[in-house]
Amino acid sequence: MPIKTKWGPCNPACTSVLKFMTNQTIPAQTGINVGTWQRVDGHRFMNVFVDFEQFAPNEDPVDLTMSFAFDASGALSAGHTVTFEENLASPQSVNFNLVSGAGTWHGSPHNRSSYIARFPVLGPFALAFAYNLHTAPRKVSVWAYLVS
């Protein structure tokens, strides 16, 4: 007997794509965000795709962090988190939610790196920060796939 699915506002899952930056040139050893705070309210997770130029395996990567806020102007924004999902001794320290892009090079002739980081949605608005740790400018794209 087939299982009947109850259809509602997010069944199947509500999804959306956000483009935080597309082919954005980031100067050497610089971290930036571009654009505005993006609304992510109504979603539970964001799969953040990072794609950047890389021409050799020994180049420093592009790292990523996500910040969350209460409104489109970034009220009470934060990029440091703590979770109580694990039984850890008190007090717990906050962690900067930084993801490293090291080891993601696709090789030559592709000359690019890419990775996906999955974040819980921690506020109704989000902003991506990309950090080019290399000694030369790079083109970087950061997009997110939101799911409920």
- 39, 147 Cβ separation under 8 angstroms: no
- 4 domain residue, yes or no: no
- 8 domain residue, yes or no: no
Other Cβ atoms less than 10 A from the Cβ of 98: the count is: 14
How many structural domains is the chain composed of? 1
- 49 domain residue, yes or no: yes
Mean pLDDT estimate for the chain: 90
Residues 71-96: tens digit of each pLDDT = 999 999 998 888 776 777 778 788 88
Collapse the DSSP code of 87 into the 3-class scheme (helix H, G, I; strand E, B; otherwise coil) and give the result: coil
- 50 domain residue, yes or no: yes
- 131 domain residue, yes or no: yes
- Which of 8-12, 82-86, 116-120 has the least mean pLDDT? 8-12
- 101 domain residue, yes or no: yes
Nearest 10 degrees: Cα torsion 36, 42, 45, 51: -30
Token pair in block for residue 124: 């109704």
Q: 108: pLDDT confidence band, cut at 50, 70 and 90?
A: very high
Residues 36-66: tens digit of each pLDDT = 999 999 899 999 999 999 999 999 999 999 9
Burial of 90 (0-12, 13-18, 19+ CB in 10 A): exposed
Please tell me the predicted confidence (pLDDT) of residue 104: 96
Token pair in block for residue 72: 């489109």
- 9 domain residue, yes or no: no
Domain span at 77 = 15-82+89-147
Please tell me the predicted confidence (pLDDT) of residue 49: 98
- 132, 28 Cβ separation under 8 angstroms: yes
CATH number (domain holding residue 141): 2.60.120
Nearest in space to 129 (alpha carbons), one of 20, 16, 1, 9:
20
- 99 domain residue, yes or no: yes
